[in-house]
Structures are given as structure tokens and as C-alpha cells.
Structure 1
Amino acid sequence: LDPGGRLGVHLPDGGVIGTQHAPPGALERAGRERETFALDTADGWVHLQPVILAQDRVAVVESFVPRSALNRGVTLSWVVMSLLAVGLVAGSVLVADRLGARVVRSSRSLSRASNALGEGDLEIRVEPAGPPELKEAGRAFNSMADRVVQLLAMERELVADLSHRLRTPLTALRLEAERMAAAPGAERLGAAVTQLETELDSIISAARSPLAVSSLGGAADRARAPDGAPAAAAGPAGDDRNGRCEVSEVVGARVEFWAVLAAQQDRRCTLWVSAEPTTVTLPYDDLAAVVDALIGNVFQHTEQGTAFGVRVERTAQSVVLTVDDAGPGIADPDLAMARGVSVGGS
């Protein structure tokens, strides 16, 4: 039936076509029980298949597999499957390690940023990375930090604005103290007003100084916009937080502030500003202090009802700020501008 002698047919009359490998007892059992079964022999594996013929006769078909064929390629298959299993496990471990490392790095970065923010570093931000949940947490942290910077800047600006508003009653108090020059304690009252003005200047300067970025000090006056891009922190109008400001805007704001006291003292106040850009390399606070000092001198050294005006002009290479008043002026300007002479030889 086949060149290898692996097939055989056992006829009902006892004849055999092909090669017999199965024991006679196994053949009789297959013909009697008419059931398919297989058995292991010393030479290999035998499979018996009964076939029912006409007149209720039974033939048995035998298929034989040598033991050498049973084991052929098994070792190689086991090696291949083992290597494949090891490769899959190693690849899984590597992928899990990389994914875990991303999560750990993102978590550590968020933890470091949270600790730094808690210690006062208002510039700290995180780069959202890792799984979607950690990315969302990073974006939420940046938004929170931006909001903290904005709220702190608004609070400090409010303190500075309130301190500026105290200048009006303080100036009025100084005027009253000067009227009481002959009264007992007038000198002490004037010294107290001067000290209070100094304290107000310190409060304004501290409130508008850049926000601290650490527990030991430092500066960080910039925040970030919600999309993560750098942006200036909240600050006074006209100030770009880079040491530059618009003179027209600053002067307009300060004149509007002093106009309240001017109305109380029946002083006519006029303001003229140039329509051209009046940007100067001077911080907002410094220029505001200059304007306050000039206008404060008008209230301090002129009678009530004396008008004054403020003018901002743009020339070819400079911006000119002029504060004029309708007072009597200085009797001897040259003497007022002359330096004093020390008898100590200095």
C-alpha cells in the first residue's frame, strides 16, 4: 500500500494487505467491538480503524507510525517555543518597565513641582507627560500655579493702591500740621507725618516689588498663560514689567488720584498729554513716585485754591513732564538752586 510499510488492511477472511504491526489480540478486539482505538507498541504507535462491509463483515485498517517519526522535530519545537516564550516575557518586561518609568518620571516631576511651589517658587511649572491622567494633572497644576501668581499679584497691587490712596488724607494732615506751626507739639506732629509718609513709600515699594520665588527671597513677577506660554503677571496699567512704562498713562492715573484732594481744596486741575507714544525706560512705580512728589509739593507749598496743571510732551529724543502751579513762585530761584556751604570745610 505504501513504500514505508506503514499501512495495512486486515480482511474478514484473515488475509492481510500491506504490513502488519498491531498485535493479533488488538486486531480481534477492533473487529469484535467495531471501535476505533490506538495503542503504543515497542516499535511505535498503531491506529486501528474498523470498516463494516457487506453481509456484516468487518475489515480493519491499520496505520503505523514508527517511534523515530514520533520524536522527530520535537526537541527543535521545544527549543523554538522556549525561545519564543522567553522573548515574549523579556519584551513584556521591557515594555512594562518603560511604561512604568514614564509614570514614575511624571509623578516625580509633579511631586517636585508641588514641593517647590509650596516652598514659594512661583515660577515652577511642569511639562505634562505620561498617561492621560498624569497629563491632565500636570495641566491642572500649571493652571493652579498661574492662578496663585495672579491672585498674589492682585493682592499686592491692591495693597499698593490702598497705600497710594492714603497719600490724600496724609497730605491734608501735613497741611493742617503746617498751619499749626506755632502750636505746641506741631514739630512732633510734622515728624510723625514725615515718618508715616516714609512708611507708606516702603509699603508701596514692597507691594509692587517682584513676587518672592523662594523662602529666602528672590523674584518672579511673570506668570504663564493657561496654555503654558509665558505672560506678564498682573500689574499696574501702563507697565510692561520690563522696566518700561507709558508716561501718559501713568501721569493720567496719578492726576486722577490727586484730583479728589484738589476738588476738596477748590484747586483747578488741568491735564494735557501728547497723543504720540510716550514710552520711557523707567518702572511704573518710580515714575508714579516722581509724579506724586511733584504734585504733593504743589499741595504742600501753595495755598488752597491754587490751580495747577500737568503736561506730558513728546520731543524728538525725550518725553517732557511739566508740573506748573499758579502760586507766587520762588522769590530768588538762583539762591534756591545754590548749594550750601559747610563751615566744616566739606
Structure 2
Amino acid sequence: MKRIGVLTSGGDSPGMNAAVRAVVRKAIHDGIEVYGIYGGYTGLIHGNIEKLELGSVGDIIHRGGTILYSARCEEFKTEEGRQKGIENLKAHQIEGLVVIGGDGSYRGALALTEAGFPCVGVPGTIDNDIAGTQYTIGFDTALNTVIDAIDKIRDTASSHERTFIIEVMGRDAGDIALWAGLAGGAETILIPEVNYDIDEIATKLKSGLDRGKRHSIIIVAEGVCSGIEFAKQVESATSLETRVSVLGHIQRGGSPTAFDRVLASRLGAHAVELLAKEKGGQAVGLNNNQVVANSLRDVLSQHNRLDLDLYELSRELSI
């Protein structure tokens, strides 16, 4: 291939810029021209495409968000919308596309590949919910953001002797809640993958009070229920006074950690290597610290499996 494109799609995640930088610089190093598609699949449909040079991606490795911007696009789910995108790619003589994003972005990449336009997916999402990779770009940064918030909230929880409920992102996957809860010493962690028993949680909280414990931290993934809703359940079951913190989009922002920068660099560069060999329809990932590639179709047919051993460990350590 002599000319490829790159776009970011769906929810942004820290490290996307590092991945874009890796794609551009690896491609130019290998003699391939790179074009950036601005605004995800929406930008592809509207032809918001510009050539990227080495300087285009200078000083972005440390920045959160994405310089290519991102959007969700219902029109691209239609055959007509995808055809518009392909026509714009052909108009710029772009032969392959690197798609950085999550599940929805991968589905668009697979549809393009099946329409005869080769794409490679790079996992960019804080939820860590993509199969075929142990870690997604942005997860580590989001995790550290949540841990920092837990540490600060614990200070005031201790001072006021209250139970704090912290709602974190994770509609379908509990990785952020589980990892942050374990690392932050939370007493209870609620994740979509495991049903909870409010009576069991109430018993645990009362047991803590009986032994002199005056505050507790409970982490709730948004896919389970809202923090406010769960706080009402806790107060009804225990008569304890609670406070709720919803971390929201703060989890998506901030400068990416060293881990996310290195991960993004490795995966972005490998995506270029695959396209250069005309191996479209692939998704890159990390397994046992080795960069790997799996078919987009296989990745989309699976669900990323949460480490339930970690969940059991968190229960054992929070007695």
C-alpha cells in the first residue's frame, strides 16, 4: 500500500493521540502516505480528510482526547452511508484504513472490509471490554484517575464517618470498577458480570460497624445501577447515612499513563504493518505482553471475560 487513512471513533480514551502518532510515523518511516479522517465515520462520510505529516503529530503523545476528534454515526450503519465513505476514500486514493476505537468502531471497520476496503482495528476504549487483547488503550489511565478519586474521597469519608458510594463507568464491563475497587481498598464492588445481594452487603456494613469501622467505600459500575439508586437501597437496608460521587467523564480525560502511551505506540505501529502486507479485517491487541492480531469477526463474536479471580480476591480482602 502507498496510502492509508486513520480515524478515531466512538468514546475518546487517553492514548488515542499516541496511537495516531504511531500510525502516522510508522507509515511515513515505511514510505506510506497517511491521511487523517476528522470526526470519525461522520467525517469519512462528509470527506473531512487531510494529509498528515510528521509535524502533524508532534507533541501529542502526552495529550488526552484525540486530535482527529470523534463522533458516533448512525448513517454509517447503513449501506448507503458506508458507500459514501468508501467513495471519499477512493477519491483520495486511500487503500487501507486504521480504525481506533471500541466495539461500534470495529463493526464499522468489519463492514468496510467486507465491502472490499481493508481495515485494521486498534482497541481504544477505557472500558477494557474488547476481546482479543488483555488491555485496551485508555484503560490504565482511567483506572488511575478513579483510584486517585477513591483516595481523596476516602479522606473525607473517614473524617465524617460516612459510607461513600462511587459510581464509575462500565455499562457492560466491570473492569474499571473491579480493578479500581481492589487497588483502592473498597469494601464492596458492584459489577455487571456478578449479581449482588443487598442483604449480604448490609450485613457486611453492619459487621464493620460492630468492630469499630466508621466509614466505607462502595464502587458501583454504571451498568449495575446508578450510584444514587444504590445509595437508597443501602440506606433502606442499614439506616446508614451515605454520600454519592458520580465520576462521569472525568474518567476519559487526562494525560495518558506511560503504559497507555507504550501500548498505543506498539498497537498503532503493528496496524500499519498489517495494512502494508494487505492483511485487512484484523484487530491488534496485547496478549502476555506480545502484540497479536485476530480477525475482526472473531473479536466481535466474543465477549471480553472479566477476571473473576480478581473479584473473589477483592471479596476476601475486604472482610
- Alignment TM-score, normalising by the size of structure 2: 0.23
The structure with the largest alpha-carbon Rg is 1
